[in-house]
Amino acid sequence: MASSNDHEFSRLRAEEALVDSVGELPGRVRGVYTALLLAGRQRWRLLVRGRSDALLIGPGGVFALNVVEELPSAERIRRLRARAEQLFTGVVIGPNRNEFIAQTVEVVFVLPPGVRAQGDGRFVVVTDATVRALLSRRSVMPARLAGELAAHTARRHPDFRAISQIEPPPAPAETDGLLEVESLHTDHLTAALAKPFPTWLAFLDPAQLALVTRHYNGPARIMGPAGSGKTVLALHRMANRARHSTGRLLFTTLVKNLPPCQESAFARLLPDAVGRAEFTNLHSWAQGFLAERGIQRKMELTRTDTAFNRAWARVGRPSRLAEIGERPYWREEIDRVIKGRGLPATAAGFAEYAEVDRRGRRVALRTSQRRYVWDLYEAYEAIRTERECFDGNDVITAALDELRARPLDKPYAMVVVDEMQDMTVQSVRLVHAMTGDEPNSLLFVGDRQQQIYAGGWRFVDAEITIVGRSEKLTKNYRNRHAILKLAATLPGAQPVDDPDTRDRQTLDVADAALPGGIAEQWTCTRAELPDHIRRQLDRLVAEGISLSDTAIITITNAEADAVLRRLRRWGIAAQELVDYRCADTDSGVKVGTVYRAKGLDFRAVIHPFVEPPPPRTDAERERLDLILRQQYVAVTRARDFVWVGVVRD
């Protein structure tokens, strides 16, 4: 333990280093810089310019320090941010020559103790007494890259003087991550495989980085195959919007357990903006919004399923519909095509349904057959209304109607819609109603190849235009080459035509950024499957891959339940994906369906896949298409390792 004399000696040395580099400083400024020098000398570097202007660079980010007596005006803050970002614009370092994201620089105001103020994402507020808390920020880049960035900045801007005492010693080889493995040597690659580092928090491919700040004069879309960094870009655009506005932010999707994971990533990216950012699935948002307006619309799937089953028994099964497709097919038709488009159970509603393009549905329906569907729809609505229960579409439509009647008191500065390909038309209309066509306020993110719900739509169906505001990513940063190669051979990876741009969406193995990986596909019987899964889990442990970063992804809930029971019988810790929040405390093998795995990724994925029987009807072929796309989505959740067990009884 250091003595008081040692501490005093270090303090004097730090003050001497400051004087030698920049001359005499005001007492407060000297005290702030000295505190940082003493607390962060091994991993942080301080660059000082003038009497109250400095840069603090380390694993937790880049901070533009301003020691002030009070917060400056909004215009002054805007100019300080612009100047700080300009210092780092175009900086390219690291083995893969990725560009530092200048927009991630945090403007920090150091206030005297006792002065009350709070950061909101545009800036960070600390005091003389709490300034060292900056050094405790969660890492956004490896210490080695932080050191390179600081050295590069000192060379590029010689008016910033690096204080020698805080210079770190040569950093040991550190784990490199998502975007910088391509040109690493084998030993570095081994380290990266063992412990990937999320360098996308501070560095992006230049092509991606250009999209972080691109101006859009209306709703925009980012599309691209699995692993191409769509959500990463969305989070960075959201953070950039937060740094330049004071409004609320919303990240939403249909997947219930995905928003908490993205909230965790955003909190690491811009912790001071978390207070005005919401991360929730769209149905939860709609229910909460309606409750605030005094309207109760609770989604009750069990009760509405019962209502539909009664309608099917009363109207559907006795009709010609049973000859064309089974009950689930017609539930999807009503959910995705009819109610998903907001068609009311009226004569006018049927007239529109009779003409609607049932995009994505294989079964062709004549007008007379659509009448049978409509009769089923009307029967379902009558039973549901009588029982006073609501399905997901009822909640979305009620929120849309209320929002159109009375817009939000405080509009969102930005809404991000992830996994947009699985939205309904009404859902798309709802998020559009939150922002309208305000510039840079609405961003859709998705991939038609990963659609796992029935039906389809175009933006024009929701009265939205994205012409000139649609971006396409191609390079894969998640899946190692072997995994991408296996995924590309799956039937569910077939190219998909984008109805809005007439572009083809494909998965190209040549666009893999990460080499190596393990990808295997085995054929077995249902009885043999458990032993195969156990062997793969033992293999992962032997290879040093944590079971907490491993997922077993199934197609059905029944299959997931069977896996969970087996793991517990073996004494292996497991966590259901529905409860997974991407937190450091999450432990055990993650188990769940593809629906719960959407948008997530894991170091290792085990995917038991029960091969469906050959389809006999168009309805069964459509169902098979969806199942095969689910298999594709499951495989592309894997970063380093994937094992697919194909069950053929």
Binding residues: 224-231
What SS3 string covers 437-448? CCCCCEEEEECH
Distance CA(425)–CA(460), nearest Å, equals 10
The tokens of 432 are what?
A: 């559009």
Cβ count near 344 (within 10 Å): 13
Which among 325, 251, 265 is positioned nearest to 615, based on CA atoms? Answer: 325
Residues 6+ apart with CB under 8 A from 197: 139, 141, 142, 174, 175, 176, 177, 178
The tokens of 329 are what?
A: 């097919």
Query: What are the backbone angles phi and psi of residue 267, rounded to the nearest 5°?
Result: -65, -30
Number of H helices, E strands in the chain: 21, 25
Containing 77, the helix (H) or strand (E) segment is helix 74-88
The tokens of 569 are what?
A: 């019988």
Three-state secondary-structure class, residue 535: helix
Distance CA(23)–CA(16), nearest Å, equals 9
Distance CA(520)–CA(536), nearest Å, equals 11
Q: In this structure, are residues 39 and 131 in contact, taking their beta carbons and an 8 Å threshold?
A: no
Which among 527, 438, 443, 515 is positioned nearest to 484, based on CA atoms? Answer: 515
Residues 6+ apart with CB under 8 A from 599: 231, 253, 255, 258, 261, 262, 418, 419
Q: In this structure, are residues 37 and 163 in contact, taking their beta carbons and an 8 Å threshold?
A: yes
For 492, 503, 509, the CA distances from 448, given in Å and listed in that order, are 11, 11, 18
Containing 550, the helix (H) or strand (E) segment is strand 550-554
Distance CA(454)–CA(123), nearest Å, equals 44
Q: In this structure, are residues 212 and 233 in contact, taking their beta carbons and an 8 Å threshold?
A: yes
What is the DSSP secondary structure assignment for residue 131, as one 8-state letter?
G
What is the DSSP secondary structure assignment for residue 299, as one 8-state letter?
B
Q: In this structure, are residues 350 and 371 in contact, taking their beta carbons and an 8 Å threshold?
A: yes
Distance CA(241)–CA(411), nearest Å, equals 14
Q: In this structure, are residues 554 and 597 in contact, taking their beta carbons and an 8 Å threshold?
A: no
Distance CA(176)–CA(262), nearest Å, equals 21
Q: Which residues are annotated as a binding site for ATP?
A: 224-231
Task: Using the structure block, give the residue that is written with the tokens 């009448």.
Answer: 371
For 85, 113, 126, the CA distances from 67, given in Å and listed in that order, are 18, 12, 10
Q: In this structure, are residues 253 and 417 in contact, taking their beta carbons and an 8 Å threshold?
A: yes
Distance CA(596)–CA(577), nearest Å, equals 6
Distance CA(231)–CA(213), nearest Å, equals 15
DSSP bridge pairs for 522: 645
Helices marked H in 545-617: 557-570, 594-597
